[in-house]
Structure 1
């Protein structure tokens, strides 16, 4: 009786967990989706990570080939997201859509303060230079609360819906969320956006108190609360990654 020996199988190609683009190693998250028929590559907000959705069971070599083919696309897209580096005395930060120059006061204590220096908007920041980012972030959190909470109350009153709680987080993939219990959450980074965009975000999450979806009724409600909804959505699409890219 004759037998045939099977040739040894190739070892499986390991799946990558990072992709190097323009000298930067970006973390790569790979998610299998049984319903996916093709690979979909997404740059996470801020340009600091990548997410790849693939069909279930796809070989690693096909993933490598896909990423190689898309190197040029990644280089082009990521070049538009500036890596600002840590904030310092030479940095600028947008506050409600207006760039403010950061000026260190040299004082150890005190809250950051918006002012004008030589007729230009500035943010005076106290504390040690290595704490500049944290101090600026704390100021943006205060601005976010001051701007969003009155807007949330106004929009919720228009719909006759109660708001149970409002939280502020440094989320990396979404600007806000709303639960059926009336708990709203916002990214405090929205304080860097113009006022009409901040108003849109408040209206968007409050509209979810009435419509827990993104169907036509939801968008009609959102637009009734914030007439500049389309303009604000377009602004976030064009500029949102820049806000997420700021390093604090």
Structure 2
């Protein structure tokens, strides 16, 4: 539900949470403001908390807008041989090679992504996008498994299953039984940022909350985690401009 007070400034997302211990506000680069509060807290109290921090919210929105103005979103993919995409924090070209193949094949190398495309699919933008997205998801899954195995071994923890998805409001999640979900878009972020999210979710196996004990656990596992947490806060919204999710048709 959106407050009339802020109707023209942002999109409000209310997030009652089993993990939250207090009311807090998150302002995201896409002008979404998340009002997070414990399920036991009264909704009226949470909305009053937001109203009382109107000036802070507006200042944060202005700050994020200024950053966005200085770093405009990338243009949509044109499939004309001049496209670029983020891969592990670096902008790399996306090249298309016509080949004698039945299906599109994608080769991902350091500094270059090449799509080998049957002539019949050369101008099929939807098919090209699906192939590139699928290849990046597979790359993200391989990277995630490697990081989960390494970090779980270091922390003497055990994860049970991995799913790669494209959530709009979180970079990962962890269930009490060890199931981990991660966003495939993390493959576009710098590798230490991907590692931070993996560490973050694994630490939820010890503390299923964001208490001081949880953050202390994260810091033991990754002492410089704050740098990478800030990167996601400041630049994570940009990752959604690459190969954006298609809206479902009505």
TM-score range, shorter chain: 0.5 to 0.7
Matched, 1:92 2:84: yes
1:106-153 C-alpha deviation (Å, 9 max, x unpaired): 34624311247xxxx221123533333222211221111111111111
Q: What aligned pairs does 1:95-244 form with structure 2 within 5 A after superposition? A: 95-107=87-99, 109-115=103-109, 121-125=111-115, 126=117, 127=121, 128-244=124-240
- Alpha-carbon separation, structure 2, partners of 1:97 and 1:32: 30
- Call closer, same or farther: CA 1:136–1:43 in 2, change over 3 Å: farther
- Residue pair 1:88, 1:102 contacting (<8 A) in 2 also: no
TM-score (norm 1): 0.68
Q: Runs of 5+ in structure 2 lacking a partner?
A: 17-23, 36-42, 245-250
- Alpha-carbon separation, structure 1, partners of 2:193 and 2:98: 34
Aligned to 2:69: 79
- Call closer, same or farther: CA 1:137–1:81 in 2, change over 3 Å: farther
- Alpha-carbon separation, structure 2, partners of 1:85 and 1:92: 9
Aligned to 2:19: none
1:82-128 C-alpha deviation (Å, 9 max, x unpaired): 34353233221111112111112234624311247xxxx22112353
The answer to which structure has the higher helix fraction is: 2
- Residue pair 1:82, 1:245 contacting (<8 A) in 2 also: no
- Equivalent pairs counted in the alignment come to 208
- Alpha-carbon separation, structure 1, partners of 2:156 and 2:25: 41
- Alpha-carbon separation, structure 2, partners of 1:143 and 1:157: 22
Shift of 1:42: 6.8
Which of structure 1's runs of 4+ aligned residues deviate more than 6 A? none
- Alpha-carbon separation, structure 2, partners of 1:99 and 1:15: 40
- Residue pair 2:157, 2:205 contacting (<8 A) in 1 also: yes
- Call closer, same or farther: CA 1:241–1:162 in 2, change over 3 Å: same
Which has the higher Rg, Structure 1 or Structure 2?
1
